[in-house]
Amino acid sequence: MSETSWQEVALNTFIDILSKNRVPMAQRLSKELCQKLKDSADEGENRQNALYMVADMLTKLYNPMHENGVVRNKVLMAVSLAKRFDLPKEDVDNLRVAVLLYDIGNLMISPGLLQKATPLTEEEKATIKNHPIIAAQKILKPISYVQDILPIIEQHHENWDGSGYPNKKSKEEIPLTSQIILIVDEYFALIEARPYRAKMSGRDAIEIIKSDAGKKWNTTLVNEFISLLEHDIV
Protein backbone atom coordinates (compact mmCIF):
# COMPACT_ATOMS: atom_id res chain seq x y z
CA MET A 1 0.00 0.00 0.00
CA SER A 2 3.08 2.24 0.20
CA GLU A 3 2.54 3.51 -3.37
CA THR A 4 -1.23 3.91 -3.07
CA SER A 5 -3.22 5.86 -0.49
CA TRP A 6 -5.29 3.87 1.97
CA GLN A 7 -8.37 5.75 0.78
CA GLU A 8 -7.80 4.66 -2.80
CA VAL A 9 -7.35 1.04 -1.73
CA ALA A 10 -10.51 1.13 0.39
CA LEU A 11 -12.53 2.87 -2.32
CA ASN A 12 -11.49 0.39 -5.02
CA THR A 13 -12.17 -2.52 -2.67
CA PHE A 14 -15.70 -1.35 -1.89
CA ILE A 15 -16.38 -0.74 -5.60
CA ASP A 16 -15.14 -4.25 -6.39
CA ILE A 17 -17.31 -5.82 -3.66
CA LEU A 18 -20.41 -3.89 -4.74
CA SER A 19 -20.03 -4.07 -8.52
CA LYS A 20 -19.20 -7.79 -8.53
CA ASN A 21 -21.95 -8.70 -6.04
CA ARG A 22 -19.51 -10.31 -3.61
CA VAL A 23 -22.05 -9.86 -0.79
CA PRO A 24 -25.84 -10.34 -0.88
CA MET A 25 -27.71 -7.03 -1.02
CA ALA A 26 -30.38 -5.26 -3.04
CA GLN A 27 -29.12 -4.41 -6.53
CA ARG A 28 -30.49 -0.88 -6.33
CA LEU A 29 -28.60 -0.12 -3.10
CA SER A 30 -25.43 -1.70 -4.44
CA LYS A 31 -25.50 0.49 -7.55
CA GLU A 32 -26.32 3.61 -5.51
CA LEU A 33 -23.40 3.09 -3.11
CA CYS A 34 -21.06 2.23 -5.98
CA GLN A 35 -21.96 5.45 -7.76
CA LYS A 36 -21.41 7.54 -4.61
CA LEU A 37 -17.93 6.07 -4.31
CA LYS A 38 -17.10 6.70 -7.96
CA ASP A 39 -18.38 10.28 -7.73
CA SER A 40 -16.11 10.93 -4.73
CA ALA A 41 -12.99 9.29 -6.20
CA ASP A 42 -11.09 12.51 -6.88
CA GLU A 43 -12.46 14.69 -4.10
CA GLY A 44 -10.14 14.23 -1.12
CA GLU A 45 -12.18 14.80 2.03
CA ASN A 46 -15.42 13.86 0.26
CA ARG A 47 -13.84 10.54 -0.70
CA GLN A 48 -13.08 9.78 2.93
CA ASN A 49 -16.61 10.72 3.98
CA ALA A 50 -18.01 8.50 1.22
CA LEU A 51 -15.97 5.57 2.54
CA TYR A 52 -17.32 6.03 6.06
CA MET A 53 -20.87 6.43 4.75
CA VAL A 54 -20.70 3.22 2.69
CA ALA A 55 -19.17 1.29 5.61
CA ASP A 56 -21.97 2.57 7.89
CA MET A 57 -24.63 1.58 5.34
CA LEU A 58 -23.22 -1.93 4.93
CA THR A 59 -23.03 -2.36 8.71
CA LYS A 60 -26.71 -1.40 9.05
CA LEU A 61 -27.66 -4.29 6.75
CA TYR A 62 -26.68 -6.79 9.46
CA ASN A 63 -26.94 -4.49 12.51
CA PRO A 64 -29.95 -2.14 12.24
CA MET A 65 -29.03 -0.54 15.59
CA HIS A 66 -25.73 0.73 14.16
CA GLU A 67 -25.42 4.52 14.21
CA ASN A 68 -24.01 6.70 11.45
CA GLY A 69 -20.54 8.01 12.27
CA VAL A 70 -19.48 4.99 14.33
CA VAL A 71 -17.17 3.59 11.62
CA ARG A 72 -15.36 6.92 11.38
CA ASN A 73 -14.96 6.98 15.18
CA LYS A 74 -13.60 3.42 15.14
CA VAL A 75 -11.02 4.30 12.50
CA LEU A 76 -9.89 7.42 14.38
CA MET A 77 -9.66 5.54 17.68
CA ALA A 78 -7.78 2.59 16.16
CA VAL A 79 -5.28 4.90 14.46
CA SER A 80 -4.72 6.94 17.63
CA LEU A 81 -4.06 3.71 19.54
CA ALA A 82 -1.72 2.35 16.85
CA LYS A 83 0.34 5.54 16.92
CA ARG A 84 0.97 5.05 20.64
CA PHE A 85 2.90 1.92 19.65
CA ASP A 86 4.88 3.71 16.93
CA LEU A 87 3.64 1.38 14.21
CA PRO A 88 5.02 2.12 10.73
CA LYS A 89 2.81 4.23 8.45
CA GLU A 90 2.12 1.26 6.18
CA ASP A 91 0.82 -0.78 9.13
CA VAL A 92 -1.38 2.14 10.24
CA ASP A 93 -2.77 2.52 6.71
CA ASN A 94 -3.48 -1.22 6.53
CA LEU A 95 -5.26 -0.87 9.86
CA ARG A 96 -7.46 1.94 8.52
CA VAL A 97 -8.64 -0.25 5.64
CA ALA A 98 -9.08 -3.27 7.90
CA VAL A 99 -11.33 -1.30 10.27
CA LEU A 100 -13.58 -0.46 7.31
CA LEU A 101 -13.81 -4.13 6.28
CA TYR A 102 -13.26 -6.41 9.28
CA ASP A 103 -16.93 -7.31 9.90
CA ILE A 104 -18.05 -7.50 6.27
CA GLY A 105 -18.31 -11.28 6.62
CA ASN A 106 -21.44 -10.68 8.70
CA LEU A 107 -23.25 -9.83 5.46
CA MET A 108 -23.04 -13.53 4.58
CA ILE A 109 -24.76 -14.57 7.83
CA SER A 110 -28.54 -14.56 8.33
CA PRO A 111 -29.63 -11.21 9.88
CA GLY A 112 -32.10 -13.15 12.00
CA LEU A 113 -29.22 -15.00 13.62
CA LEU A 114 -27.17 -11.85 14.25
CA GLN A 115 -30.18 -10.06 15.77
CA LYS A 116 -31.37 -12.99 17.88
CA ALA A 117 -32.39 -11.82 21.37
CA THR A 118 -32.39 -15.29 22.96
CA PRO A 119 -29.29 -17.41 23.74
CA LEU A 120 -27.51 -18.87 20.72
CA THR A 121 -27.06 -22.61 20.21
CA GLU A 122 -23.52 -23.95 19.84
CA GLU A 123 -24.13 -24.36 16.10
CA GLU A 124 -25.29 -20.75 15.82
CA LYS A 125 -22.24 -19.52 17.75
CA ALA A 126 -19.97 -21.48 15.38
CA THR A 127 -21.67 -19.88 12.38
CA ILE A 128 -21.13 -16.36 13.73
CA LYS A 129 -17.54 -17.13 14.72
CA ASN A 130 -16.85 -17.95 11.08
CA HIS A 131 -17.28 -14.32 9.96
CA PRO A 132 -13.56 -13.37 10.00
CA ILE A 133 -12.78 -16.30 7.68
CA ILE A 134 -15.73 -15.45 5.43
CA ALA A 135 -14.54 -11.85 5.19
CA ALA A 136 -10.92 -12.70 4.47
CA GLN A 137 -11.20 -15.83 2.35
CA LYS A 138 -14.56 -15.61 0.56
CA ILE A 139 -15.09 -11.87 0.04
CA LEU A 140 -11.66 -10.21 0.03
CA LYS A 141 -9.17 -12.89 -1.09
CA PRO A 142 -10.03 -12.48 -4.81
CA ILE A 143 -9.14 -8.75 -4.56
CA SER A 144 -5.40 -8.63 -5.24
CA TYR A 145 -4.53 -5.28 -3.64
CA VAL A 146 -5.86 -6.06 -0.13
CA GLN A 147 -3.82 -9.21 0.52
CA ASP A 148 -1.88 -7.47 3.34
CA ILE A 149 -5.19 -6.74 5.06
CA LEU A 150 -6.39 -10.36 5.16
CA PRO A 151 -4.30 -11.56 8.16
CA ILE A 152 -5.44 -8.54 10.21
CA ILE A 153 -9.11 -9.29 9.54
CA GLU A 154 -8.77 -13.06 9.86
CA GLN A 155 -7.23 -12.74 13.34
CA HIS A 156 -9.27 -9.90 14.85
CA HIS A 157 -11.05 -12.31 17.23
CA GLU A 158 -7.91 -14.08 18.48
CA ASN A 159 -7.34 -13.55 22.21
CA TRP A 160 -4.06 -12.84 23.97
CA ASP A 161 -4.40 -16.01 26.10
CA GLY A 162 -5.18 -18.27 23.11
CA SER A 163 -8.90 -18.64 23.84
CA GLY A 164 -10.11 -16.77 20.73
CA TYR A 165 -10.97 -17.87 17.22
CA PRO A 166 -10.59 -19.05 14.50
CA ASN A 167 -7.11 -20.54 15.15
CA LYS A 168 -6.49 -20.18 18.91
CA LYS A 169 -3.45 -17.99 18.34
CA SER A 170 -1.92 -16.23 21.34
CA LYS A 171 0.38 -13.42 22.42
CA GLU A 172 2.84 -12.22 19.75
CA GLU A 173 1.40 -14.65 17.20
CA ILE A 174 -1.47 -12.18 16.83
CA PRO A 175 -0.79 -8.98 14.85
CA LEU A 176 -1.01 -5.91 17.07
CA THR A 177 -3.33 -4.39 14.45
CA SER A 178 -5.75 -7.31 14.97
CA GLN A 179 -5.67 -6.81 18.73
CA ILE A 180 -6.35 -3.09 18.23
CA ILE A 181 -9.42 -3.89 16.12
CA LEU A 182 -10.65 -6.35 18.76
CA ILE A 183 -10.44 -3.86 21.63
CA VAL A 184 -11.98 -1.00 19.61
CA ASP A 185 -14.73 -3.32 18.35
CA GLU A 186 -15.47 -4.52 21.89
CA TYR A 187 -15.71 -0.98 23.25
CA PHE A 188 -18.14 0.20 20.58
CA ALA A 189 -20.18 -3.01 20.85
CA LEU A 190 -20.60 -2.42 24.58
CA ILE A 191 -21.67 1.23 24.25
CA GLU A 192 -24.10 0.38 21.43
CA ALA A 193 -27.53 -1.14 22.14
CA ARG A 194 -28.08 -4.79 21.24
CA PRO A 195 -31.34 -6.77 20.86
CA TYR A 196 -30.51 -8.62 24.09
CA ARG A 197 -29.30 -5.65 26.23
CA ALA A 198 -29.27 -1.89 26.59
CA LYS A 199 -26.15 0.09 25.72
CA MET A 200 -23.60 0.63 28.48
CA SER A 201 -21.85 3.78 29.63
CA GLY A 202 -18.25 4.34 28.57
CA ARG A 203 -17.09 3.77 32.15
CA ASP A 204 -18.91 0.43 32.44
CA ALA A 205 -17.47 -0.65 29.09
CA ILE A 206 -13.96 0.19 30.29
CA GLU A 207 -14.45 -1.89 33.44
CA ILE A 208 -15.36 -4.92 31.33
CA ILE A 209 -12.34 -4.37 29.10
CA LYS A 210 -10.07 -4.01 32.16
CA SER A 211 -11.38 -7.31 33.52
CA ASP A 212 -10.13 -9.07 30.38
CA ALA A 213 -6.60 -7.60 30.48
CA GLY A 214 -4.13 -10.45 30.08
CA LYS A 215 -6.92 -12.64 28.70
CA LYS A 216 -8.41 -11.04 25.62
CA TRP A 217 -5.72 -8.39 25.30
CA ASN A 218 -2.15 -7.61 26.21
CA THR A 219 -2.28 -5.58 29.46
CA THR A 220 -0.14 -2.86 27.87
CA LEU A 221 -2.70 -2.46 25.10
CA VAL A 222 -5.52 -2.16 27.64
CA ASN A 223 -3.63 0.47 29.62
CA GLU A 224 -2.91 2.53 26.50
CA PHE A 225 -6.53 2.21 25.37
CA ILE A 226 -7.86 3.41 28.74
CA SER A 227 -5.37 6.29 28.73
CA LEU A 228 -6.60 7.26 25.25
CA LEU A 229 -10.23 7.28 26.37
CA GLU A 230 -9.92 8.84 29.81
CA HIS A 231 -10.63 12.41 28.74
CA ASP A 232 -13.67 11.34 26.66
CA ILE A 233 -15.57 9.23 29.19
CA VAL A 234 -18.33 10.86 31.20
State residue 232's pLDDT score.
61
Give pTM, 2 decimals. Answer: 0.94
Pick 78 or 193 by higher pLDDT.
78
- pLDDT tens-digit map of 96-146: 999 999 999 999 998 888 888 888 899 999 999 999 999 999 999 999 999
Q: Please, which pLDDT band fits residue 234 given cuts at 50, 70 and 90? A: very low
Mean pLDDT, residues 146-163: 97
Nearest CA-CA partner of 77 in 199, 214, 226: 226
First to last CA, the chain: 38
Instruction: Count CB atoms within 10 A of the CB of residue 33.
Output: 22
pLDDT at 233 over 60: no
Domains and CATH numbers, the chain: 66-229 (1.10.3210.10)
What does DSSP assign to residue 144? G
- What's the Cα-to-Cα distance from 134 to each of 11, 30, 106, 129, 205, rounded to whole Å? 20, 20, 8, 10, 28
Could you please report the per-residue DSSP string of 41-110?
TT-THHHHHHHHHHHHHHHHHH-TT--TTHHHHHHHHHHHHHHTTT--HHHHHHHHHHHHHTTGGGGGS-
Average pLDDT over residues 204-218: 96
Sequence letter at residue 76: L
pLDDT of residue 3: 55
Give bridge partners of residue 208 from the DSSP assignment. none
